[in-house]
Structure 1
Amino acid sequence: MKKRSKMKCFLGNESISYSKLINIVVYYIVMASYLHIHGHAKINPEEKQVPALIVFGDSIVDPGNNNYLATIGKANFLPYGRDFPGGIPTGRYSNGKVPSDFFDLQISDLLTGVSFASGVSGYDPSSAKLENVLSLEDQLKLFKGYINKLETTVGENTTSTIISQSLYLVCTGSNDITNSFFGSPITRLQYDISTYTDLMVNWASSFVQELYALGARRIGVINAPPCGCLPSQRLLHGGLLRACAEEENKASILFNNKLSFQLASLNQKLAKSRIVYLDIYKPFLNLINNPSQSGFEVVDRGCCGTGNIEVSVLCTKLDPGTCQDASKYIFWDSFHPTETTYRLIVHEVLQKSLGDFF
């Protein structure tokens, strides 16, 4: 039997007011957290139980929040979601599930989750502003509202326990590299890639410290993927052979090295913190370089349409070129991986880094 995804989008139904919506979200978190805290004397590191998984970031972990925003950056229509349970296009940027759905830690069914993530956002505030989506600052404001409601519902002490024992996942950065830097002549006139990645790390560090100040202690930060190997970037910058764009991959590596160093520094600086650098670059690139080892056949284009440019509104059910079996493809559209790819990468990341949170 397939395990039903517990990850909820935050923004909910358009007809529900913000106040009522946050009450509903808090109810789910509180009930699961109360049962966890009082049903178990303490968190068991071997069982890796936490009250909740709380997610921030971009389209890689957006379960449908952009559905309720005035933006073209949506994925709530077929063929997106065609392999999701029930064949429902939920707003996830994939043929099925996304990483936050798989990040269940193999723990108690009492775990619940909520994602504040918004597709097309990034560490760079301009990434979200250009597409009218939720910036990290906006996502943090929603999280603060959630904390206030928790305090009203269960009191400050229980809220503090829930917030400190939950696990936080931050996943963003690829839009900054591909769109806000390499896709923007203006940005490239203002900064070189070294300076821009310094800015990205500063924004990332500030966000992690803000989460910590609000009570978060277990914070996982996902690094940048090999951005130059995304089908859209192969088309734009990979030459006639559509090879991986070398400069974009170098930018990802540069950012990742700086991010890893900064997170290690924060771990030393912030008392009782478990700030974990989660590497997806290496396992992702390994799938691309050795596809047959994992059953993949196509690595340089997505399943949807031609697989070169289709993403969001350009990926439609009317396109006759869309593949029949997405599991043979590393990428679903020109920017986002398939469910199979996500599952394999998340499994490897958890195998390597899960223990670092406890």
Structure 2
Amino acid sequence: MNFSLLSTMLLALALSSVSSFYVVHAQNSSFSALFAFGDSILDTGNNNLLPTLSKCNFFPYGRNFIGGRPTGRFGNGRVFSDIIAEGLGIKPILPAYRDPSLSNNDLPTGVCFASGGSGLDDRTPRITAVLSIQDQLNDFKDYTAKLNGVVGSQANAVISNAVFLISAGNNDLAIAFPTRMGQYTVFSYTDLLITYTQNLVKSLYDMGARKFAIMGTLPLGCLPGATNTFGNVLKMCQVPANQLATMFNQKLSALVDNIGTQFAGAKFAYVDMYNPLLNIINNPMASGFIDARDGCCCTPTSIVPCLDASRYVFWDIAHPTERSYLTIAPSIVADLKPKLA
């Protein structure tokens, strides 16, 4: 048989299989795909090959993930982007776009562009040596070209019916803002982050995005990195950090409520991460947790990882455990579905 003809036939068969998968999936889900942008709450392994200290592709990270392997996710198992993708009926694992093993079959149902340590302020990823928001947008442009090669004319439908999940602001407030306090007040800096959020939404909208789930920050003053500071014997939440996070979240929520008028045909939902997580921190036993102040792993108070991460609210100094995400996700998914469908 002519080898050129054989190659063409095999390629056509492969593309047909991917397209058929997309059609079947689209019939079984309200959303075609999930795309994640932002920071480590969503990153599923994009930092693994970067020359940065902000990576976790080593044990004990991932010890509760499939196969007990570290994938670059900042936690003991799946992270929030995986869990939301599953909750929306898309798929249980959201692959990292920069994963060398990423296959064409993964593309139609979404990938993750987020980078642990990143933020809206360009200074944030410069400090942490990770992917900036612009880098992530560039990766998305590259993705769309590949998607067109895989599903052809269905590419626009994939993107327009996908959920764009954004988590940014955590590192800007915790890492970059302290270096900018000579330039900005807490009011002007949080305003700046809101402007950056609008710019990100516009960039994605111009590339076809129509469904946005925009996440607020965690209660930054209650993360183990804050509660385990020297002299904080009672491991109390740091009030100023929580006030800063609250200010940003209130502005972000207001933006999401009003931004729809600027983008015809787009739908928006604000994802409150602060209050659901704070409720667990303040009353951990009600949800079956035994420790809400220490990380299970990789902190000065837990050099030896805990035996059961599911009993801890936090995995390390800044990231919730998989079970924490699973605890807060159902109500979030229930809120997202009608708002973005």
The interval holding the TM-score normalised by the smaller chain is 0.7 to 0.9
**C-alpha contact (below 8 Å) 2:124/2:175 kept by paired residues:** yes
1:115 equivalent in alignment to 2:115: no
- Please tell me the residue identity of whatever aligns with 1:242: K
Structure 2: unaligned runs, 5 residues or longer = 1-13, 92-105
Q: Deviations over 1:173-194 (max 9, x none)?
A: 111111112xx3x311221111
Which of 172, 186, 195 is the aligned partner of 2:188? 195
Residue aligning to 1:95: 76
- RMSD of the alignment, in Å? 2.3
Question: Where in structure 2 are the equivalents of 1:1-358 lying within 5 Å?
Answer: 35-37=21-23, 39=24, 48-103=29-84, 104-107=86-89, 112-155=109-152, 157-181=153-177, 184=178, 186-236=179-229, 239-306=232-299, 319=303, 321-358=304-341
Cα distance in 1 between the residues matched to 2:322 and 2:119: 22
Question: Taking structure 1 as reference, are residues 234 and 257 closer, same or farther at Cα in structure 2, changes over 3 Å only?
Answer: same
Q: CA deviation at 1:113?
A: 2.7
8 Å CA contact 1:94–1:332 kept in 2: the answer is yes
Indicate conservation of the 8 Å contact 1:33/1:52, yes or no: no
Letter in 2 for 1:352: D
Q: Give the aligned residue type for 1:92.
A: R
Q: CA deviation at 1:340?
A: 0.6
For the residues of structure 2 that align with 1:356 and 1:237, how far apart are their CA atoms?
44
Q: Is the 8 A contact 1:54 1:113 kept in 2?
A: yes
Q: Which amino acid aligns with 1:301?
A: D
Structure 1 residue 32 displacement after superposition:
5.3
Residues 307 and 288 of structure 1, relative CA distance in 2, 3 Å threshold: farther
Q: Which amino acid aligns with 1:120?
A: G
Q: Are the aligned partners of 2:221 and 2:242 in contact in 1 as well (CA < 8 Å)?
A: yes
Secondary structure at 1:115 match in 2:
coil
Give the 3 Å change call, closer, same or farther, for CA 152–352 of structure 1 in structure 2: closer
1:224-283, CA deviations, whole angstroms, 9 ceiling, x for partnerless residues? Answer: 111110011123488442211111111111111111111222112211111111111111
- Paired with 2:223 and 2:67, the residues of 1 have a C-alpha distance of 28
Distance 1:134 1:305 in 2: 23
How many residue pairs are counted as aligned between the two chains? 312
Preserved contact between residue 283 and residue 348 of structure 1 (Cα < 8 Å)? no
**TM-score of the aligned structures, taking structure 2 as reference length:** 0.85
Contact 1:97 1:339 in 2 (8 A): yes
Do 1:61 and 1:171's aligned partners in 2 also have CA atoms closer than 8 Å?
A: yes
Shift in alpha-carbon separation, 1:254–1:34, aligned structure 2, 3 A: farther
Q: Distance in 2 between matches of 1:238 and 1:287?
A: 24
Q: Which amino acid aligns with 2:119?
A: G
CA contact (8 A) 1:296 1:330 kept: yes
Which of structure 1's runs of 4+ aligned residues deviate more than 6 A? none
Name the CA shift for 1:233/1:297 in 2 (closer, same or farther; >3 Å): same
For residue 329 of structure 1, what is the amino acid of its counterpart?
Answer: Y
Give the direction of change, closer, same or farther, for the CA distance of 1:340–1:121 in structure 2 (3 Å limit). same
CA distance in 2 between counterparts of 1:207 and 1:31 reads: 34
Q: For the residues of structure 2 that align with 1:281 and 1:147, how far apart are their CA atoms? A: 33
Q: CA deviation at 1:106?
A: 4.6
Report the Cα distance in structure 2 between the residues aligned to 1:32 and 1:278, rounded to whole angstroms. Answer: 32
Which secondary structure state, in structure 2, belongs to the residue aligned with residue 65 of structure 1? coil
Q: 1:152 Cα deviation (Å)?
A: 4.3
Question: What SS does the aligned partner of 2:258 have?
Answer: helix
Deviation at 1:159, TM superposition (A): 1.9
**Unaligned 5+ runs, structure 1:** 1-26, 311-318
Offset at residue 83 of structure 1 (A):
1.0
| Partners of 1:225 and 1:218 in 2: CA distance | 22
Q: Which residue of 1 aligns with 2:96?
A: none
